[in-house]
Chains A and B, each alone.
Chain A
Amino acid sequence: MRVVTAAIAIAAGLFVLAGYFFPIAVLADLRMRLIDGAILIAGMAVLVGIYNLIAVQMEKIRTRQKGSTYGGLLALSLVITFGFGLLYGPENPYIRLTVDAIIVPVEASLMAILAVTLIYASIRLLRRRANLLSMVFLSAAVLALVAVVPTPLGPIPGDRAISSFLGMLSGGGARGLLLGIALGTLLTGLRVLFGVDRPYGGN
């Protein structure tokens, strides 16, 4: 069975890759079908994830574990929201009210706490680790903030130079990350095509 799954995965990858390089209608059609299949599977995976979430919470409720109340509340809200969403659509005012009044504020509040936490961490950084790297990091952060901070007196002179300088550093770092990501993605794809990695199981 492991050989079959590996063969399917490898074949699908080869077909898709071949479709990129060989503009053959059959290959293109086959690629499209494989992609459609992947889209469907991914969509169903979301539903499976939602089901798994409910199942876990229900298990916690059944075994009366700690936090089972919140699990039950989660499951209830999920069911209600999912039901209303299926029935009325996402443009329904109640759905929008749920999103506007609950989902977005909750997540936004978490992001606001992050801001306070970052400032606190930056304040305590030199107390814990007073070294050159810490000072450079703090200096860079302060400069980045200074470059964009509006002042009542207008923009700070040299903000553009600072922005360019920092952009240059960040741009170089970003490119490095992106190149690494690209290479990693390429290597992972090749490993899957070669059957070395089998994330779909069978190891």
Chain B
Amino acid sequence: MPDIRCPNCGKNNPDFLDVCQFCQTSLKSDSLLHIGEKPTRKDTGELERVLPDWLRDVRQQSRESAQEEETAQSVTPPKVQKNEPPDLLAGLASQSGNEDEDIPDWLASINPVAKPKPAAPSAPAPEADFFAQFNKPESKPEPPPKEVPVDTGTAKQAPFTSEKDELSDWFASQTSQAPEEVVEPPSQGMDWARSFDSSPAPAQEPAPKEEEDLSWLHNLEEASKQTGDLQAPKQSTDWMADLPAAPSQPAGAQEDLSWLDRLGGVDINEPLPSAPTFEPQPVEPSRGQQPSEPSSTSQEDLSWLDQLGGTQPEQGSNIFEEKSAGPQEDLSWLDQFAAQTQEPGPSEPTASKPAGEDLSWLSDLGATSEPAQPFETAPSQPAGVQEDLSWLGDLGGEPTPASAPPFADFGTAMDLPPRQTAPLGDLFHEETPDWLKSATEASSKPADNEMVPDWFQGTVQPAEEKAPAGQPAAPFEADVFSAPAEPSSLSGQDVDSLFSVDMPDWLSQPEPGAGGPASAQAEIPLGEAGSDESLAPVDLPSWVQAMRPVEAVISETVASPEDQPEEQEGPLAGLRGVIPVGPVGSAQRPKAVSLKLQASAEQQAGAALLERILGSETNPRPLTTAPVVVSQQVLRWILAALFLIVISVLISMRSEQMPVTANSEKVLGISNITLNIPEGAKVLVVIDYEPSLAGEMEAVSATLLDDMVFKRHPQLSFVSTSPMGSALVERLMTNAKINQPEGNNYQAGVQYFNLGYLPGGPAGVLGFIENPAAVIPTSGVTAFSEYAAVIVLSDHAESGRVWVEQLHAQKQIEPALAGQPLLMVASAQAGPLLQPYVLSGQITGMISGLAEAAQYPSASNRPGIARSYWDTFGFALLMSIALIVIGSLWSLITGIRARRAEAEQG
């Protein structure tokens, strides 16, 4: 009986119960669907109680976040959603897989309160650690301000404005701002950006990502409060308000970098001009194509950056007007950071400096680097906005036409002065806000060469080396950090997109000893020297590396990164196993595959045989002619000649010297039977032999007939069951000398009658026996019983058998036939087969062969044919016996010898 499980307590209950017997819960739930019933609509919220706890928590968190988003959206005006191209930099924010890496190291090191996150040798950091990743190649603790990952080369280091209220006001304004709606980059990429949009309280939402993204800002805020560097945001706010309408720009860039706007304390109530999306695409030709486009929109978006640096919005607007590249403005603050890395110590913000000058480094961030300027060259003086951001452009090293840094377009478009790549020096300390200065104080002043991150230097240097061959990786770098299609102004959205793009593996590559990507890259062979690839191994993106065949990768797996030497210079300085050490040349080449067909020896032998067979088909074969004379034919001739000679001689001699065997009882009995035939009685003589044996039959039968005729003078009636029998009657009578005058002188038609041929075989015999006159009218008898005797002359047992069987059957019917003797004269070959009839009494007497015929006593004492044949017969028979015996022995011996010889050869 099926049981029902209680939904409450989970215990089984009989099905006939309606209520659980344990907890009294109704078992017949209305929600159960019975057959034929339509399901009732239920609110899924009612079923939440059955959900597992972890799922409930997630649902709760999602509800809360949704509510928060709704509230934020209600406060801030919704942004016009634009179709933005995918922000490649969006993944920058999602690179981090570790909470510890969310906070950029350079930021973490800036703020003494916040614990500086060590350069992570672990997995690549999310977008929040975009800048921290730049510090990863360095095995040593990296000074935060040094590793600014900007490869524009045109970003100019600008002093930070360390106004205290700027950041704090910005943070306060962020609490009521709506979150970014139109951020196209991946959500992971924008998490870091979105984190800035949320309020401090929401920043600590259950979503750990958002909290991570904002924590460093909080720390910055606190630091700035201490140092009083956050005053600029107000100005920046005004500055942002005074910004003209931004020209058409890639909407995605501006929208993506909106969070940067909010970072700078932009009034969210102010509708931001529609800004084009930031599109960091590797369109080299597009670089510099927008040199003169004003970037007012990006200017507005990047106002927060100006505020970060304590810049005034007015000057910032001027700055952005002059500039043409949006990303430059967005990353101007990065210029300042770079300046910090170069010049430790300076922490006095130049409050007197106009806002534009303060954010100049950000504006130059996206600018293209000037070809003439090496990236390592230190900026001379912050001569303006362009100069401020030049350090960012120089971060990518000396740019080349084929490997233009990402922000190259911005530099050329804006006609920026040469960027400062030199250490910041005192100017940095004057211009940078206090909160940034504090971060840079602890950092050591790197050398000029070390100002630029190694990875960044490496991208530029390989680009320089392989300029003729072209470097897809370099454009990729440019794509990452540049917006070629953007105007000069760098909006907050652009900056968002910059940092939200998925970091390439070569940028996000962890320190040596890290996980898969690094090891996968390490497996890349050094066979590029022998191959036609134009990319340097280090420049290969991960997706290209993933396309390599596994076997090649496996076979080409080199030693573990730990076993490989550490790079000493270049962008891979400090890394291990990035470029696997392996033999270059034939060892890396795939093994040659033999084109020969692998065939075994047996198969080859079969193929050769088939080939010979096919070849022999066209070759004429010599006909093997048999010899004219063969040994076998010779032997036959000899035997034939021997018999002919011997027999001819003997016959011609008419010799009768051989003694005849004594009369046997059987033969004597036949003689007595003939004596019992009445005188002149009719005797039926059946001739059933062929002409081939006529000689033997005549010799055997002639004696009997002659004796009978001599003694009883019967009337002979000859009948034959074979067509030639009737033709042999006369021959018999002549040879037997019965119709000869020297013999009995029988006359045909008088003493002997030739009845002819009796057709029908057994039927004819039967018919003749039953009614001779009906079958043969000229028989002269009315009944068969009128014949006194029947003599059957046969050379084969068949005819004799027929007569025996038919006659015996008739004798059973007619008693008159009982005393009628049946004499059989048979050849030597038929005698043995008719012997049983003799032994059974069905045949009265039988003479078989010449030997018995010779033994028949003749009353006339006339020698019969048999006697004349006896000597010849004897000698021929003896010769035959001799030949058989001797020949057989000879054949036996030769056969044994031949087989022995074959066995020996064999």
Interface residues of A (CB under 8 A from B): 20, 23, 32, 35-36, 38-43, 45-46, 90-91, 95-96, 99-100, 103-104, 106-108, 110-113, 115-117, 119-120, 122-128, 130, 138, 141-142, 145-146, 148-152, 154-155, 159, 167, 170-171, 173-175, 177-178, 181
Identity of the chain B residue whose Cβ is nearest the Cβ of A155 in the assembled complex? B661
Residues of chain A within 8 A of B757, CB atoms compared: 43
Q: Contact: A123 with B884, CB < 8 Å? A: yes
Contact B833 A174 (CB under 8 A): yes
The answer to whether B813 and A120 have CB atoms under 8 Å apart is: no
With contacts A104-B691, A150-B874 known, is A130 near B884, CB below 8 A? no
| B639–A119 touching, CB < 8 Å | yes
Q: Contacts A46-B723, A117-B636, A150-B873 hold; do A126 and B892 have CB atoms under 8 A apart?
A: yes
B832:A167 contact, CB within 8 angstroms: yes
> Which residues of chain B are near A116, meaning CB under 8 Å?
636, 639-640, 643
Which residues on B sit within 8 Å (CB–CB) of A146? 881
* A37 → B minimal CB distance (Å): 9
Contact of B724 among A20, A103, A124, A167 (CB under 8 A): A103
Chain B residues whose CB sits within 8 angstroms of the CB of A46 once the complex forms: 723, 759
Binds A, one of B399-407, B418-426, B463-471, B763-771: B763-771
**Is B727 an interface position by the 8 A CB rule?**
yes
> A150-B660, A159-B661 in contact; A130/B895 too (CB < 8 A)?
yes
Across the interface, name the chain B residue whose C-beta is closest to A171. Answer: B835
Q: Which residue of B lies closest to A105 (CB)?
A: B691
Q: Report A-chain residues with C-beta under 8 Å of the C-beta of B635.
A: 120, 123
Pairwise interchain contact A104-B763, C-beta atoms closer than 8 A = no
A107 near B892: Cβ-Cβ < 8 Å: no
Residue ID in chain B nearest A178 by CB atoms: B836
Given the interface pairs A99-B731, A145-B880, the reply to whether A130 lies near B659 with Cβ below 8 Å is no
Assess the A141–B884 pair: CB atoms within 8 A.
yes
Flag whether B780 is at the interface (Cβ < 8 A): no
**B832 near A149 (CB under 8 angstroms)?**
no
Minimum CB–CB distance for B226 against chain A, Å? 127
Bound complex: CA A112 to CA B696 (Å):
12
Kindly provide the distance from the CB of B806 to the nearest chain A CB, expressed in whole angstroms. 11
Q: Is the CB of B774 within 8 A of A145?
A: no
Q: Are A35 and B766 in contact (CB under 8 A)?
A: yes
A45 smallest CB distance to B (angstroms): 8
Size class of the contact patch on chain B: 35 or more
Q: Which of B851-906 contact A (CB under 8 A)?
A: 851, 870-871, 873-874, 877-878, 880-881, 883-885, 887-892, 894-896
- Contact between A151 and B891 (Cβ–Cβ < 8 Å)? no
4 closest A-B pairs by CB: A123-B887, A127-B891, A107-B692, A150-B874
Contact among B691, B723, B775, B881 for A36, CB-based, below 8 A:
B775
16 A-B pairs (CB sep. < 8 Å): A35-B764, A36-B774, A39-B767, A90-B726, A90-B727, A90-B729, A90-B754, A91-B748, A104-B728, A108-B695, A123-B884, A142-B881, A149-B877, A150-B851, A173-B832, A174-B833
Q: If A96-B731, A122-B888, A178-B836 touch, does A150 touch B775 (CB 8 Å cutoff)? A: no
In the bound complex, residues from chain B placing their C-beta under 8 Å from that of A159 are 661
Question: In the complex, A71→B588 CA distance in Å?
Answer: 91
Chain A residues whose C-beta falls within 8 Å of the C-beta of B888 in the assembled complex = 122-123, 125-126, 138
Contact assessment for A171 and B763 in the assembled complex, using a CB-CB cutoff below 8 Å: no
B516: CB under 8 A from chain A?
no
CB-CB under 8 A from B692, the residues of chain A are 107-108, 110-111
- Could you say which residues of chain A place their CB within 8 Å of the CB of B775? 36, 39
Q: Is B849 part of the contact surface with A, judged by Cβ < 8 Å?
A: yes
Q: B633-677: which residues lie under 8 A (CB-CB) from chain A? A: 635-636, 639-640, 643, 657-662
Measured between alpha carbons, how far is A125 from B887 in the docked complex, in Å?
9
Q: What is the bound-complex CA distance between A159 and B664, given in angstroms? A: 12
CB distance from B823 to the nearest CB of A (A): 19
Measured in the bound complex, the distance between the Cα atoms of B871 and A23 in whole Å is 55
Please tell me if B801 contacts chain A, counting CB pairs below 8 Å.
yes
Q: Flag B805-839 by CB within 8 Å of A: 1 or 0 each.
A: 00001000100000000000000100011111001
A-B contact count (CB 8 A): 182
Q: Contacts A42-B760, A146-B881; is A95 near B643 (CB within 8 Å)? A: no
B residues in contact with A145, CB < 8 Å: 877, 880-881, 884
Residue of B nearest to A85 (CB): B727
Closest residue on chain B to residue A170 by CB atoms = B832
**In the complex, B694 has a CB within 8 A of chain A:** yes
Return the chain B residue nearest A175 by Cβ.
B836
Q: Does B585 contact A (CB under 8 A)?
A: no
Separation in Å of the A112 CB from the closest CB of chain B?
A: 8
A138/B884 in contact, CB under 8 A: yes
Q: A23-B813, A115-B880, A152-B657 are in contact. List 11 more A-B contacts (CB 8 A).
A: A42-B764, A96-B727, A99-B728, A104-B731, A119-B639, A123-B891, A125-B891, A145-B880, A150-B871, A152-B659, A173-B832
Please, how many angstroms separate the alpha-carbon atoms of A153 and B771 in the complex? 53
B767 pairs with A122, CB closer than 8 A: no
Decide yes or no whether B761 CB sits under 8 A from chain A: yes
Q: B727's closest neighbor in chain A, by CB?
A: A99
A42 touches B657 (CB 8 A): no
Q: Say yes or no: A38 contacts B657, CB within 8 Å.
A: no
A174–B885 touching, CB < 8 Å = no
Tell me the smallest distance from the CB of A119 to a CB of chain B, in Å: 5
Partner of B658, one of A45, A108, A150, A174: A150
Whole-angstrom CA separation of A114 from B767 in the bound complex: 36
**CB–CB B691/A103 < 8 A:** yes
Residues of B within 8 A of A119 (CB): 639, 880, 883-884, 887
A39 to chain B, nearest CB (A): 4
Which of B727, B766, B894 is in CB contact (< 8 Å) with A127? B894
* Smallest CB separation, B796 vs chain A (Å): 13
Contact indicator B774/A32 (Cβ below 8 Å)? yes
Chain B 680-703 per-residue mask, 1 if CB under 8 angstroms from chain A, else 0: 000000000011111100000000
B730 at interface by CB-CB < 8 Å: yes
Residues of B within 8 A of A90 (CB): 726-727, 729-730, 754, 756
Bound-state CA distance A159–B851 (Å) is 12
Whether A108 and B884, one on each chain, are in contact in the complex, defined by CB atoms closer than 8 angstroms, is no
Closest to A23 in B: B813
**A99–B885 Cα gap in the complex (Å)?**
38
* Contact A122/B643 with A150-B660, A151-B874 known, Cβ cut-off 8 Å: no
Among residues of A, the one whose C-beta sits closest to the C-beta of B873 is A150
- CB of B2, distance to nearest CB on chain A (Å): 72
CB–CB A39/B636 < 8 A: no
Alpha-carbon separation in the docked complex, A20 to B833 (Å): 27
Q: In the complex, what residue of chain B is closest to A96 when comparing beta carbons?
A: B730
Shortest CB-to-CB span from B832 to chain A, Å, is 4
- In the bound assembly, the distance between CA atoms of A103 and B757 in angstroms comes to 17
Which residues of A have CB within 8 Å of B690?
A: 107
Given the interface contacts A99-B727, A126-B891, A159-B661, does A149 sit within 8 Å of B881 by beta carbon? Answer: yes
Tell me if A108 and B766 are in contact (CB < 8 A): no
Contact with A along B743-761 (1 / 0, CB 8 A): 0000010000010110111
- Residue of B632, B658, B760 near A151 (CB, 8 A) is B658
Cβ of A44 to closest chain B Cβ, rounded Å: 8
Given that A116-B639, A120-B635 are contacting pairs, would A127 and B693 also be in contact in the complex, using a CB cutoff of 8 Å?
A: no
